[in-house]
Amino acid sequence: MTFLTALLRVLGGALAAGALGYALARFFTPGLHRAETLAWSFATGLLVQAILFVVLVSIFPGAGPLPILAIDAAMVAASFLARRPRVPDRLARGQARTLVFTLLAIAGVAWLVFLVAALSEPMWATDYLAMWGLKGKTIFETGFIPRRLFQDPALYWGRPDHPLLVPLSLAALASLSGGWNDQALALFFPLCELATILGVWGFLSRRVSPLAGASAAALVSVCFPLYRAVNAGLAEIPLAFALVLGSCAFFDSLETGSRPAMTRLFLASLLAAWTKPEGTLFVLLLAGTLFLRRRLRPVETWKSGGWALVVPPILHASLMLLFARPIPPRDFDPTFLEPRRWSELLSRFGMVLARILGTYVLPVWVPVLAIGLFFLFTRRGLADLLLPVLVLQVLGYVAAFSISSFDPIWKVDSCFQRLVATLIPPFALVLGARVGREKASQYGKARPGASNAAKSHSAST
Amino acid sequence: MSGGARLPNFLRHSLPAALLLVLAASMVATLSPTEIARRGSLLLRSLAGETITAAERTGFWFDPAYGAFLEEVRRSTPRDATIAVVVPPWPDVYVYQAAYQLAPRRVVERGRQSEATFVAAYGYRYPGAPNPDVTALPGGALFRRR
């Protein structure tokens, strides 16, 4: 099979996943911007296709893509037979159209740059070879999830405790496209970037203004520290997508408390927690933020979206414990948390901070200063609530490096930049939201809990 | 919505935009035009059906000949084999490439040879004496363990 044929087949597989996702997402994306609906369709397709792949290859081993495509077609047909809820579209139009189109054109060109970089050769990043690609290829080639991926001591470096959504997505795409072509499969990553851009653009266009959406979309697309050739194949790119969707759904659930918004929040949490452990940290921090906003009332927090944030990580942890029982990770040394080692921990914490500041912050003082001034000269935006979450996420990384079993400086150098780059797309939501003023609520005046309008909308859904 | 320092009207819109532009420019500056051109050319050649040599790929940056050796090991071993790879200790990507390229075969490192049905020794020059359990490969040899 030539590369072009393989690429077209992978694209076909991704479109099938997107169509399946749309068939399901149309029930919980009423009233959203078209771009957002596409992003949610892609996310839903990823999750459902990965689950379908695991179930169907165990029932029909060696049957190829036919069972998956048949179920996809049946679900799409069933979806279009059902009526979907309608919510009035209140998108602003006509504001600074030329500037908006220019920014979107920049986003398009920047996306093409990553597309070319990702597809130029077979994926080769170390973590792709050792973790994501190895697991995906093994699952695809064997037709099931071998237990040794979790329990083989010879594979200790393959992070047996990490979630499987990315390997399963790659295996499902390979199955749909008829073979494992690690150059064509790289298309998955630019598609994730595209969905992230669409998610950011759609959400801010709906909640703030098209200019805010286009500004943030352009910022996400030029996030080349994340979207570059070496990161094609890594879970960081799908993770950034999950963080953006999680943030958007979080703000929608705060505004409306509606059932569709909660469903989206649950789905995004699932996506984040099943992509990388950093995704679990992010959704738990969102849950903590919600808990504080609900004045430390657990029942109210649970009912107003806490369940959607907490259940997916628990579900993932339970599945891993029940079915996988992975060998314990060797990356962290919890004895650093014992009182006798606190002084040592403090010194490592200082080392890590000094390394981050000296090597990764000071050299980029110009953009850091620009961000500081931007916050000084702009009004508060609807996504400002993300700021403490993002800061705590970075502090979480600093803490993790400090209790690393390995040299903490080596850990910082090997992954700090890549991990922080995944936070730039959700951070672009914060910046973009400050470009314009938040629109009046789609359901009337915004309020801490669910509004009556939102409740009635939720009931109708 | 509140907050934000007071600015003259002409600066109120242009300054935040300029600051975002600085941020965007700093991220764009991480790109290398030469690298983009090289990758564009590789992609066009791939689309045209040309095979890109291992030397031009980044995946085997540490040892372009290693890819051909792994390909021969893959061809010479069954899919359910356990293969012990004897490779240089640095960089560790020698082992990761072996595990990935040979999947779904199980790959173990030198210390676990007792678990393997084959030993793939990279860089080993087999003298050529006839032995049904040894296969000379480009860049090394494959030993069947019984």
Q: Report CA Rg, chain A.
A: 22
A138 vs B contacts (CB less than 8 Å):
103-104
User: Best mutation site among A151, A208, A378 for testing chain B: the one with the most B CBs within 10 Å?
Assistant: A378
Q: Do B42 and A121 touch (CB under 8 A)?
A: yes
Task: State chain A's mean pLDDT as an integer.
Answer: 91
- Per residue in B91-125, pLDDT (tens digit) is 999 999 999 999 999 999 988 999 999 999 999 88
Rounded to an integer, what distance in angstroms lies between the CA atom of residue A128 and that of residue B67?
16
Question: In residues, how long is chain A?
Answer: 461
B3 vs A contacts (CB less than 8 Å):
378-380
With tokens 């130029």, the residue in question is A120
Beta pairing, strands B82-86 & B118-122? parallel
Burial profile B23-58: b = 16 or more Cβ within 10 angstroms, e = fewer: bbebbeeeeeeeeeeebeebbeebeeeeebebeebe
- Say what the ipTM of the complex is: 0.93
Interface of A with B in 413-442 (CB under 8 A): 424, 431, 434-435, 437-438
- Per residue in A25-61, pLDDT (tens digit) is 999 999 999 999 999 999 999 999 999 998 988 888 7
More confident residue, A310 or A456: A310
Q: Which pLDDT value is given to residue A12?
A: 95
Q: Which pLDDT value is given to residue B132?
A: 83
Q: Are B60 and A122 a contacting pair, CB within 8 Å?
A: no
CA dihedral A388, A234, A55, A153 (to 10 degrees): -100
If you average pLDDT over residues A429-453, what whole number do you get? Answer: 63
Interface of B with A in 87-146 (CB under 8 A): 92-93, 95-97, 99-100, 103-104, 106-109, 112, 115
Q: Which pLDDT value is given to residue A441?
A: 57
DSSP structure class, residue B110: G
pLDDT bin (cut points 50, 70, 90) of residue A84 is low
Q: How far is CA B84 from the centre of its chain?
A: 19
Rounded to an integer, what distance in angstroms lies between the CA atom of residue A275 and that of residue A166?
6
Beta strands in chain B (DSSP E): 82-86, 106-108, 118-122, 134-137, 140-144
Q: Which pLDDT value is given to residue A244?
A: 98
With tokens 């093409």, the residue in question is A112
Q: Are A182 and A136 a contacting pair, CB within 8 Å?
A: no
User: φ, ψ for residue B86 (rounded to 5)?
Assistant: -105, 105
pLDDT bin (cut points 50, 70, 90) of residue B5 is low
User: φ, ψ for residue B3 (rounded to 5)?
Assistant: 90, 175
Residue B67 pLDDT exceeds 80: yes
3-state SS, one letter per residue, for chain A: CCHHHHHHHHHHHHHHHHHHHHHHHCCCCCCCCHHHHHHHHHHHHHHHHHHHHHHHHHHCCCCCCHHHHHHHHHHHHHHHHCCCCCCCCCCCCCCCHHHHHHHHHHHHHHHHHHHHHHHCCCCCCHHHHHHHHHHHHHHHHHCCCCCHHHHCHHHHHHCCCCCCHHHHHHHHHHHHHCCCCCCHHHHHHHHHHHHHHHHHHHHHHHHCCHHHHHHHHHHHHCCCCCCCHHHCCCCHHHHHHHHHHHHHHHHHHHHHCCHHHHHHHHHHHHHHHCCCHHHHHHHHHHHHHHHHHCCCCHHHHHHHHHHHHHHHHHHHHHHHHHHHCCCCCCCECHHHHCHHHHHHHHHHHHHHHHHHHHHHHHHHHHHHHHHHHHHHHCCCCCCCCHHHHHHHHHHHHHHHHHCECCCHHHHHHHHHHHHHHCCHHHHHHHHHHCCCCCCCCCCCCCCCCCCHHHHHHHHHC
Which two structure tokens, joined as six digits, stand for A11? 């694209």
A141 vs B contacts (CB less than 8 Å):
79, 103-104
Q: Do B79 and A141 touch (CB under 8 A)?
A: yes
Interface of A with B in 125-144 (CB under 8 A): 126, 128-130, 133-134, 137-138, 141-142
If you average pLDDT over residues A79-91, what whole number do you get? Answer: 68
Which two structure tokens, joined as six digits, stand for A171? 């295996």
User: Best mutation site among B9, B12, B19 for testing chain A: the one with the most A CBs within 10 Å?
Assistant: B19
Rounded to an integer, what distance in angstroms lies between the CA atom of residue A198 and that of residue A40?
9
More confident residue, A51 or A444: A51
Q: Which pLDDT value is given to residue A174?
A: 96
Q: Which pLDDT value is given to residue A346?
A: 95
Residue B70 pLDDT exceeds 90: yes
Residue A108 pLDDT exceeds 90: yes
- Per residue in A226-263, pLDDT (tens digit) is 999 999 999 999 999 999 999 999 999 999 989 999 99
Q: Are A283 and A291 a contacting pair, CB within 8 Å?
A: no
> Which range, of A81-90, A286-295, A358-367, B134-143, averages the lowest pLDDT?
A81-90
Residue B12 pLDDT exceeds 80: no
Rounded to an integer, what distance in angstroms lies between the CA atom of residue A126 and that of residue A144?
24
Rounded to an integer, what distance in angstroms lies between the CA atom of residue A155 and that of residue A132?
13
Residue A94 pLDDT exceeds 80: no
- Per residue in A309-335, pLDDT (tens digit) is 999 999 999 999 988 888 887 888 989
- Per residue in A174-219, pLDDT (tens digit) is 999 989 999 999 999 999 999 999 999 999 999 999 999 999 999 9
Residue B131 pLDDT exceeds 90: no
Residue A458 pLDDT exceeds 60: no
C-alpha distances (whole Å) from A210 to each of A1, A30, A103, A214, A221 are 43, 19, 10, 6, 16
Rounded to an integer, what distance in angstroms lies between the CA atom of residue A259 and that of residue A245?
16
Quote the pTM value.
Answer: 0.93
Q: A259-273 vs A34-59: helix axis angle to the nearest 10?
A: 60
B58 vs A contacts (CB less than 8 Å):
121, 124, 229
If you average pLDDT over residues A392-407, what whole number do you get? Answer: 95
User: Which of B24, B30, B57 lies closest to A219 in CB terms?
Assistant: B24
Residue B128 pLDDT exceeds 60: yes
- Per residue in A125-171, pLDDT (tens digit) is 999 999 999 999 999 999 889 999 999 999 999 999 999 999 999 99
Q: Are B23 and A375 a contacting pair, CB within 8 Å?
A: no
Closest alpha carbon to A366 in B3, B11, B24: B24
Within 10 angstroms of residue A149's Cβ, the number of other Cβ atoms is 22
pLDDT bin (cut points 50, 70, 90) of residue A97 is confident
Interface contacts A/B by beta carbons within 8 Å = 151
Q: Which pLDDT value is given to residue A62?
A: 74
Q: Report CA Rg, chain B.
A: 26
